[in-house]
């Protein structure tokens, strides 16, 4: 088959890119390795930046988000001194939207179905061919039959473990990485959220986060050693540890219940440069990973889609190649800004096993600055709601 843009990966970045391009008459084919049910079974991000909210509305798939999503005008930080609020509205006149990535992906699939976009599931052995040529193509296998997609451009939206980044030769790509000495044990429970807004806790026993998906679905995390396995933790052990780390005014009234999802995610910061190789463009987790502390992973995928969709629309609409030629540099500037913020928020809120007493005092001073200095809170708010596109 032939198309204009072949998109590898049917997660949020691939689907959002496909939706935005199709709405401008640009033909796409999405190749997704897994089934739709499998993709929709993953529990991931929960906070959408203002930029992503705008993109979803532009893509015509924000109706349910605007009804069921929860705008949040602030979040809370808890330290040994107590809890204080970062007031996004008063500091930067912005808010974020609390609405799960699973629901975003569900809405994107529904929007793609409505416009009859081509999304091929269970596409195995996807391989990229001749990305440096003027006639790149992609092959895949489905039901034991090999298929070929000839295209003008390829968007690698296939996540950290996908095939796209590996297609860029090791001598060409440069990778930057920091692996953190702990993970996040997360649970989803059909309980009322412990607080109206998110609570990020820095506790001597480790980090904890109280988040939510709706008025009846809560999402919680505690920092755990990398050696921990999810089977080491019963639900009761999790609730007890979470109660120890959250501030008393949040922990005491907290409703507990059985976990409906429980998993441990490792934390890393990772960037691949460049994000393009000939007619192949990397998008989202295929190019970068952030620790989830700053709620940036999904949102960075959205800003990549913003830049690439506009570049391709300008090219197909007016023959303007400028966006295509500068995509990597443009996307990386915002990526490194969010990479820094996610690293900073992780450094300030977690307990590091190898931290010296001096390191600990510096961390406490950083948190005290946030509590006492408005400009420090404003800088955090500006980054948390999302740097401009
Ligand atoms: P995705 O990984 O979502 O999607 C890639 C798609 O490509 C997948 O559907 C995959 O099946 C498919 N694929 C892979 N290889 C392929 C191949 N060879 N051929 C065809 N298809 C292929 N971010 C936050 O902001 N907040 C969070 O709390 C948060 N929690 C997370 C928890 C976990 C366990 C993980 C793994 C990530 C978390 N993230 C979080 C980050 C996450 O939300 C990503 O940033 C987001 O999914 C990025 O979207 P995509 O770039 O579309 O990649
Ligand atoms: C979540 O709700 O899953 C979530 C929210 C904020 C974060 C990380 C995860 O920083």
Q: Which of these, 317, 306, 282, 310, lies nearest to 54 by C-alpha position?
A: 306
Report which DSSP code applies to 278.
T
- Domain spans, the chain: 5-70+94-177+268-346, 181-267+362-385
**DSSP H helix total and E strand total for the chain:** 13, 20
Is 247 annotated as catalytic? Answer: no
Structure tokens at 183: 């993970």
Q: Is 328 in the pocket of ligand 2 (CB under 6 A)?
A: no
183 Cα to the center of ligand 2, angstroms: 14
244 Cα to the center of ligand 1, angstroms: 31
Task: Give pLDDT, residue 116.
Answer: 97
The domain at 181-267+362-385 falls in which architecture?
Answer: 2-Layer Sandwich (3.30)
Three-class SS of residue 193? coil
Q: Is 296 in the pocket of ligand 2 (CB under 6 A)?
A: no
Q: Look at the domain 5-70+94-177+268-346 and name its fold.
A: FAD/NAD(P)-binding domain (3.50.50)
Residue with CA closest to ligand 2 atom 7: 295
Q: Which of these, 183, 172, 339, lies nearest to 270 by C-alpha position?
A: 339
Contact criterion met (CB below 8 Å) for 137 and 2: no
Ligand of minimum distance to the alpha carbon of 102:
1
pLDDT for 178 beyond 90 = yes
Determine the Cα–Cα distance for residues 371 and 78; give it in Å rounded to an integer. 10
Residue with CA closest to ligand 2 atom 4: 46
**From 203, 262, 288, 296, the catalytic residue:** 296
Contact criterion met (CB below 8 Å) for 75 and 87: no
Question: 87-95: long-range contacts (C-beta < 8 A, 24 or more apart)?
Answer: 87/377, 87/381, 88/381, 88/384, 88/385, 91/374, 91/377, 91/378, 91/381, 91/382, 92/378, 92/381, 92/382, 92/385, 94/50, 94/381, 94/385, 94/386, 95/50, 95/71, 95/385
Percent of the chain with pLDDT over 70: 100
Contact criterion met (CB below 8 Å) for 247 and 83: yes
In the chain, helix, strand, coil percent, each to 5? 40, 30, 30
Task: Give the pLDDT confidence of 279-295 residue by residue, as tens digits.
Answer: 999 999 999 999 999 99
- Show Cβ contacts of residue 365 under 8 Å, excluding neighbours closer than 6 positions: none
Q: Per-residue confidence at 83, pLDDT binned at 50, 70, 90? A: very high
Cα torsion 92, 194, 360, 237 to 10°: value is: -150
Determine the Cα–Cα distance for residues 282 and 9; give it in Å rounded to an integer. 11
pLDDT for 34 beyond 90 = yes
In 201-320, alpha helices (H): 235-245, 248-251, 297-318
Residue with CA closest to ligand 2 atom 5: 46
Task: Give pLDDT, residue 137.
Answer: 98
Q: Per-residue confidence at 43, pLDDT binned at 50, 70, 90? A: confident
Q: Per-residue confidence at 32, pLDDT binned at 50, 70, 90? A: very high
Mean pLDDT of the chain: 97
Q: pTM of this prediction?
A: 0.96
**How crowded is residue 122: how many other Cβ atoms within 10 Å of its Cβ?**
15
369 Cα to the center of ligand 2, angstroms: 23
145 Cα to the center of ligand 2, angstroms: 40
Which atom of ligand 1 lies closest to the CA of 285?
51
Q: Tell me the best of 10, 11, 141, 284 to mutate to test the pocket of ligand 1, counting ligand atoms within 8 Å of each CB and taking the most.
A: 11
Ligand of minimum distance to the alpha carbon of 383:
2
According to DSSP, the residues that pair with 133 across neighbouring strands are none
Ligand of minimum distance to the alpha carbon of 386:
1
Determine the Cα–Cα distance for residues 271 and 43; give it in Å rounded to an integer. 23
- The Cα diameter of the chain in Å comes to 63
22 Cα to the center of ligand 2, angstroms: 30
Task: Give the pLDDT confidence of 199-250 residue by residue, as tens digits.
Answer: 999 999 999 999 999 999 999 999 999 999 999 999 999 999 999 999 999 9
Determine the Cα–Cα distance for residues 276 and 7; give it in Å rounded to an integer. 14
Q: Is 297 in the pocket of ligand 2 (CB under 6 A)?
A: no
Structure tokens at 343: 């690293």
């Amino acid at each position: 088959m032939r198309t204009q843009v072949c998109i590898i990966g049917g997660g949020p970045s691939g689907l959002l890119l496909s939706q935005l391009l199709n709405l401008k008459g640009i033909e796409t084919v999405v190749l997704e390795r897994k089934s739709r049910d499998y993709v929709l079974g993953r529990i991931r991000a929960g906070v959408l930046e203002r930029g992503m909210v705008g993109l979803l509305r532009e893509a015509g798939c924000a109706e349910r988000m605007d009804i069921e999503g929860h705008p949040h005008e602030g979040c809370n930080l808890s330290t040994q001194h107590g809890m204080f609020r970062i007031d996004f509205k008063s500091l930067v006149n912005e808010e974020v939207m609390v609405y799960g990535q699973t629901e975003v992906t569900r809405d994107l699939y529904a929007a793609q179905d409505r416009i009859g976009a081509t999304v091929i599931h269970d596409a195995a052995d996807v391989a990229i061919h001749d990305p440096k040529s003027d006639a790149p193509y992609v092959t895949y296998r489905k039901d034991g039959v090999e298929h070929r997609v000839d295209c003008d451009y390829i968007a690698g939206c296939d996540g950290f473990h996908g095939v796209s980044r590996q297609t860029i030769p090791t001598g060409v790509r440069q990778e930057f990485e920091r692996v953190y000495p702990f993970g996040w044990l997360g649970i989803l429970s059909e309980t009322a959220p412990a607080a109206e807004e998110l609570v990020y806790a820095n506790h001597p026993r480790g980090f904890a986060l109280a988040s939510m998906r709706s008025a009846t679905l809560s999402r919680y995390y505690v920092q755990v050693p990398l050696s921990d396995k999810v089977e080491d933790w019963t639900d009761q052990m999790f609730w007890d540890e979470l109660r120890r780390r959250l501030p008393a005014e949040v922990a005491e009234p907290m409703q507990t219940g059985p976990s409906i999802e429980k998993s441990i995610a490792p934390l890393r910061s990772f960037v691949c440069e460049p994000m393009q190789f000939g007619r192949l463009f990397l998008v989202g987790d295929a190019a970068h990973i952030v620790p989830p502390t700053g709620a940036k992973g999904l949102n960075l995928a959205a800003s990549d889609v913003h830049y690439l969709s506009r570049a391709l629309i300008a090219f197909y609409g007016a023959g303007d190649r400028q966006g295509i030629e500068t995509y990597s540099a443009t996307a990386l500037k915002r990526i490194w800004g969010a990479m820094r913020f996610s690293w900073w928020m992780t450094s300030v809120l977690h307990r590091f096993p190898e931290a010296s007493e001096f390191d600990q005092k510096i961390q406490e001073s950083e948190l005290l600055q946030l509590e006492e200095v408005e400009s420090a809170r404003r800088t955090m708010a500006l980054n948390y709601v999302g740097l401009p596109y």
